[in-house]
Amino acid sequence: AHLDRIRAVDGDVNAFLVVDDDGALAAAEAVDLDIANGEPRSALAGVPLALKDVVVTRGLQTTSGSKILEGWIPPYDATITRKMREAGIVILGKTNMDEFAMGSSTENSAFGASHNPWALDRTPGGSSGGSSAAVAAFEAPISIGTDTGGSIRQPAAVTGIVGHKPTYGGVSRYGLIAFSSSLDQAGPFGRTVLDTALLHEVIGGYDHCDSTSLNVPVPPVVAAAREGAHGDLAGLTVGVVKELGGDGYEPGVEAAAKTAYAKLEEMGAKVVEVSCPHFGYALAAYYLIAPSEASSNLARFDAVRYGLRVGDDGVRDLEEVMSLTREAGFGPEVKRRIMIGTYALSSGYYDAYYGQAQKVRTLIGRDFAAAFETCDVLVSPPTPTTAFKLGERVDDPMAMYAADLCTLPASLAGLPAISVPVGLATAPGTTENLPVGLQIMAPALADDRCYRVAAAVE
């Protein structure tokens, strides 16, 4: 049924880069057999899923949205891919994304933008916009995204679905094509908080193949989602982050957030305002740290190891092959970030840029620690606006980066956060009603708290 749905709507939505009909049907048949034998493998056995193309899949093309990897067939599965297969989840195909996960709209994909199912002329967010669009368009009930600075939470918010960025180290990064290794985390999307929690429990947990993986139990997010659904938040203190809201935020986004805060109070939570004075520097720090790490990670695309190679004939030397390949294979945003990152890491500038950004990162972590002395969770809008129009921000990188204002602090501090839908808002200057989310942030490894609150407000 989902393959039929993809055939019917994906011409308009463009959520998928590759649909794996044969693989999906074979996986579904294997699950049928288990069930006939009375041994379903997990609660999600047989449930179809859309997988962001930054996650490697054995035998199935993986491009990370880039021409430089077009046609690359990985020889192995990412740990999360393996875990999902073992749980009997049926992988329908690979979803569109901004090239190497750099962007907030999918417009940086080398394979064309995805479209928001609520309004096809608008973005489904990014960089995991194919995965958010697939779930919002009923092409898949659940999907996987990755979030480096907001790429799960912002797409979830603007497509009206649930998205969870786990605690850094909570989900294995083995087999994720690296963008910014100290920030990247894979996480689940779903149409409900409980669906999202069930998927997180499949992908989460320790992996010896990832040196930053935390060797601790997966937070009990399914139990928390079930508990939260009772709508009783007595005893919980919720901090509204003063710095994330106000000027520059769409009125409808602010109004929906305020309604959500009132709802939390009705359910027994104590809602207070907290100040996190360094959050205003998160954007500047992130856009030094992420490009710096990217400039190093993307050095592996050297025309020798993977994918595209340009200039086999008549070139002088290896350096020329590399330079021609990287010129043809990378898009403009990727090149911009490689240049920024290389500059920020160069000797003489390192202390002023990368080093300074790391200090700001520490201060943001301390703001969180101070706020969590009095609050159990912090809340804010996930992004300042409803889904913007495709094309509107493509020539203005700073406007594009502003989509991440609210999501970057938790990314820099490695903390868990969820975006949950809380209603619709009318986009300014239109009569279009578009989805709005609420972001819920918690201390490291308290992902279950995000789920409890999200289930209460959903």
52 is annotated as an active-site residue = yes
Q: Where do the H-state alpha helices sit in 101-192?
A: 129-136, 153-159
Nearest-angstrom CA–CA distance, 95 and 164: 17
151 is annotated as an active-site residue = yes
Active-site residue identified among 114, 151, 213, 411: 151
Structural tokens at position 68: 């430089």
- CA dihedral for 342, 348, 352, 358, sign (positive or negative): positive
We find the least distance from the C-beta atom of residue 198 to ligand GLN, in angstroms, to be 23
We find the least distance from the C-beta atom of residue 316 to ligand GLN, in angstroms, to be 35
Determine the Cα angle at 422 with ends 419 and 424, to 5°: 120
SS3 state at 312: coil
Phi, psi (degrees; rounded to nearest 5) at 112: 90, 155
Tell me whether residue 243 or residue 404 sits nearer to ligand GLN (CB atom): 404
**With contact defined as beta carbons under 8 Å apart, do 132 and 122 qualify?**
no
Structural tokens at position 1: 């049924």
Tell me whether residue 47 or residue 54 sits nearer to ligand GLN (CB atom): 54
335 is annotated as an active-site residue = no
Q: What is the C-alpha R_g of the chain?
A: 21
Query: What is each CA distance from 148 to 100, 179, 244, in whole angstroms?
Result: 11, 8, 19
Contacts of 168 (CB under 8 A, 6+ apart): 182, 183, 185, 212, 414, 415, 444
Tell me whether residue 184 or residue 250 sits nearer to ligand GLN (CB atom): 184
We find the least distance from the C-beta atom of residue 203 to ligand GLN, in angstroms, to be 17
Tell me whether residue 2 or residue 52 sits nearer to ligand GLN (CB atom): 52
Tell me whether residue 174 or residue 261 sits nearer to ligand GLN (CB atom): 174
Q: In what order do the strands lie in the sheet with 237-241?
A: 16-19, 90-95, 48-52, 142-147, 185-190, 162-165, 417-426, 433-441, 377-380, 237-241, 270-274
Tell me whether residue 192 or residue 407 sits nearer to ligand GLN (CB atom): 407
Contacts of 22 (CB under 8 A, 6+ apart): none
Strands 142-147 and 237-241 turn out to be unpaired
Helix, strand, coil fractions of the chain, as percent rounded to 5: 40, 15, 45
Nearest-angstrom CA–CA distance, 398 and 170: 31
Tell me whether residue 209 or residue 399 sits nearer to ligand GLN (CB atom): 399
**With contact defined as beta carbons under 8 Å apart, do 189 and 145 qualify?**
yes
We find the least distance from the C-beta atom of residue 54 to ligand GLN, in angstroms, to be 8
What residue ranges bind ligand GLN (CB under 6 A)? 101-104, 127, 147-151, 179, 290, 404
Unique residue bearing structure tokens 């996190």: 276
We find the least distance from the C-beta atom of residue 441 to ligand GLN, in angstroms, to be 15
Q: ω into residue 127 within 30 of 0, thus cis?
A: yes
Tell me whether residue 148 or residue 192 sits nearer to ligand GLN (CB atom): 148
Active-site residue identified among 127, 128, 180, 380: 127
User: Which are the catalytic amino acids?
Assistant: 52, 127, 151
